[in-house]
Amino acid sequence: MEGVRRADVRIFQVLRALQGFLGQSDVMAYLAMMTVRLLEMRRVLRSTGSIYLHCDPTASHYLKIVLDAIFGQQNFRGEIIWRRTNARATTGRWPRLHDTLLHYSKSDAFVFRSLKVKADENKLPHTLITGKDGKKYQTYELTGPGVTKDGESGRPWRGFNPAKYGRHWANSHGTMDMWEEAGLIHWPAKNGFPRRKSVAPFDPSQREVVVGDVWTDIDRINQSSKERLGYPTQKPLALLERIISASSNAGDTILDPFCGCGTAIHAAERLNRNWIGIDITYLAIQVIEDRIKTWLPATKYAIEGIPKDEFAARKLAERDPYVFQEWAVGRVGGQPRGRGPDKGIDGEIAFIRGPGRYGRAIVSVKGGKNVGPDAVRILKAVVEREDADMGVFICLNDPTADMRTEAALGGRIVLPGGERAKIQIVTAADLARGPNLGILTELNIVTATLAARTEKRKKPPKSPTPEELRAQPPLPPMPIKGGKAGKQQPTLPLDEPILVQPKEVTRRKRS
Ligand SMILES: C[S@@+](CC[C@H](N)C(=O)[O-])C[C@H]1O[C@@H](n2cnc3c(N)ncnc32)[C@H](O)[C@@H]1O
């Protein structure tokens, strides 16, 4: 709230009024967090730009008040209902199928391009007529709204006076005469108003309709979606492409300050826009990098806000140990385990041991200053318990002699590039340089997800027996943690980390 008061007293008053009703609640904290960011969004938005805020129906009505206050009621452009899923039975309430997208512009001179999509072939338009040949033909209005006093557009044509209906002819009498001679005017029975008839018969497969503010044709990312990356809040590319196509031009810049696994970036790149993505989690940035490498390999970009040297790595460990952990695991090519009880596993690496053979390494991160041989011993025990192939111990300082001895006692492993210690120690300086563990992690998050899906399709998993289920260890948290992280990490500034596309971009030919 304090940040808002300093930024804009009027908007602070709006928030205070909401606080009077909502009290010190989670919703209020969320609104305050969003308000500071929306104020920044308004500041950086170009005068012809638009902002789309995606929210669920539990907060959309409060956010609309906040957005009205920040962008002005007159700049409210629409509320899009995105039906993202199909009905499932829910007890005691209507199944929740939609999310809301609030659209505001910065001024009344904003870019907007109306879009069309293929129409539902089963729904025939009511403007069809049956021609003499028995085929269906589309018909079109010959008049426009409003009465004209001068000229022939306000005068009757062939006995029909559009002014009677508050309208005028949208075409000259001469053109309509020509159409009439060509048999292209439809005269409805019972003296109905004439309409123009299309030349070719109606083809339902060619019909397009204008996209309105209820979107039912874009499915959410499901288990079998081709674009699925496993990031829990991932949005469909089609959703972002629609928004970007409608509200920007090629060469414009798209900013997604909560970019998650980078759907907006992907869409912007495909549509020849420049882009900036910001996310609070390193994991999101890692997924985006992998996404770019896999699907948009010619893209040029730079990442800012992540440690570039040992000093920055140490600073990060001090400021936010969990974020340091996430970054460090990513640096050694692993996937973080997420928060909560970790059973000694902060991350895992899948690496190549030979043709078609993969190994698994357990990563343990200790971002504190006092780390000794006991911690290495614990990692060795976890590697053994998990029947993993390697252990990677990450700490800030150079390991002591005792720690080195403890690691060396863990034995050796044969890898495609030669023999290596089974337990490897990586320091903050190694992380900054780019650690060399001697392992090949050919799979990135995107290709790993794709491979997993193909594998799943090949062999439908057999259902475990109750005995097998009982024998299984408890499920770990999902390896990719995204969404709602704002609540978990409210302290990082908005501008870190940031993934920015440089201005000069060499575009590759798109397919
Ligand atoms: C709903 S997800 C975005 C999903 C995205 N549209 C996609 O398709 O992947 C919200 C993202 O915002 C990030 N986030 C939460 N709080 C943030 C903050 N204060 N600053 C920047 N990013 C934040 C989360 O890490 C999460 O990845």
Q: Domain segments of the chain: what residues?
A: 2-116+213-305, 128-208, 321-461
| Ligand 1 centre distance from Cα of residue 462 (Å) | 36
Q: Please state, for a pLDDT cut of 70, what percent of the chain lies above it.
A: 86
pLDDT (average), residues 258-274: 97
Residue 494 has pLDDT above 70, yes or no: no
Q: Per residue in 175-214, pLDDT tens?
A: 999 999 999 999 998 878 999 999 999 999 999 999 999 9
Residue of 82, 221, 258 with the most ligand 1 atoms within 8 Å of its CB, for mutation: 258
* 336 close to 482: Cβ distance less than 8 angstroms: no
How much distance in Å is there from the Cα of 307 to the middle of ligand 1?
Answer: 20
pLDDT at 60: 94
Closest CA to 230 of 187, 190, 286: 286
- Measured between alpha carbons, how far is 356 from 313 in angstroms, rounded to an integer? 35
Residues 6+ apart with CB under 8 A from 344: 362, 364, 378, 379, 381, 382
256 Cα: distance to centroid of ligand 1 (angstroms): 9
447 CA → ligand 1 middle, Å? 22
Which residues does a 6 A CB cutoff place in the pocket of ligand 1? 231, 233-235, 257-258, 260-261, 263, 278-281, 284, 482-483, 485-486, 494
pLDDT digits (tens, 9 = 90+) for 367-411: 887 889 999 999 999 999 999 999 999 999 999 999 999 999 999
Query: Which candidate, 247, 229, 241, 239, places its Cα nearest to that of 289?
Result: 229
- pTM value? 0.73
pLDDT tens digits, 453-480: 665 665 555 555 666 656 655 543 333 3
Q: Are 196 and 179 in contact (CB under 8 A)?
A: yes
Which pLDDT band, with edges at 50, 70 and 90, does 222 fall under?
confident
Question: What mean pLDDT comes out for the span 166-174?
Answer: 95
Please provide the size of the chain in residues. 511
Q: What's CA 170's distance to the chain center, in Å?
A: 44
Q: Which long-range contacts (CB under 8 A, 24 or more apart) does 255-261 make?
A: 255/41, 255/44, 257/37, 257/40, 257/41, 257/494, 258/486, 259/284, 259/288, 259/499, 260/231, 260/233, 260/234, 260/235, 260/284, 260/482, 260/483, 261/229, 261/231, 261/234, 261/287, 261/288, 261/291, 261/482
> Across residues 237-247, what is the average pLDDT?
98
Q: Ligand 1 centre from 19 Cα, in Å? A: 25
CB-based contacts of 439, cutoff 8 Å, min separation 6: 333, 349, 351, 352, 359, 361, 390, 415, 420
Model pLDDT for residues 91-111, shown as the tens digit of each residue:
899 999 999 999 999 999 999
Task: State the pLDDT at residue 48.
Answer: 97
pLDDT of residue 89: 82
Return d(Cα 265, Cα 256) in angstroms, integer. Answer: 8
Task: Compute, in angstroms, the gap from residue 235 CA to the centroid of ligand 1.
Answer: 11
User: If you count DSSP H runs as helices and E runs as strands, how many of each does the chain have, helices first?
Assistant: 16, 23
- pLDDT per position as a tens digit, 281-337: 888 888 898 899 999 999 999 888 888 899 999 999 998 888 899 899 988 988 888
What is the mean predicted confidence (pLDDT) over 497-504? 59
Lowest mean pLDDT among 71-80, 139-148, 449-458: 449-458
Q: Which atom of ligand 1 is nearest to the CA of 261?
A: 9
Of ligand 1's listed atoms, the one at least distance from the Cα of 483 is: 26
CATH number assigned to the domain with residue range 321-461, chosen from the 4 options 3.40.1350, 1.20.1250, 2.40.10, 3.30.390: 3.40.1350
Q: How confident is the model at residue 446 (pLDDT cuts 50, 70, 90)?
A: confident
492 Cα to the center of ligand 1, angstroms? 13
Burial 248-276 (b: 16+ CB within 10 A, else e): beeebebbbbbbbbbbbbbbbbebebbbb
Res. 350: pLDDT tops 90: no
**Atom nearest to 279 CA in ligand 1:** 22
**Over the stretch 272-291, which tens digit does the pLDDT of each residue have?**
999 999 998 888 888 898 89
Determine the atom of ligand 1 nearest the C-alpha atom of 278: 21
- Residue spans of beta strands (DSSP E) within 367-507: 390-395, 412-415, 418-421, 423-426, 498-500
β-strand partners of 352: 358, 440
Lowest-pLDDT range of 40-49, 227-236, 260-269: 227-236
CATH level 3 topology of 2-116+213-305: Rossmann fold (3.40.50)
Residue nearest to atom 15 of ligand 1 (CA): 486
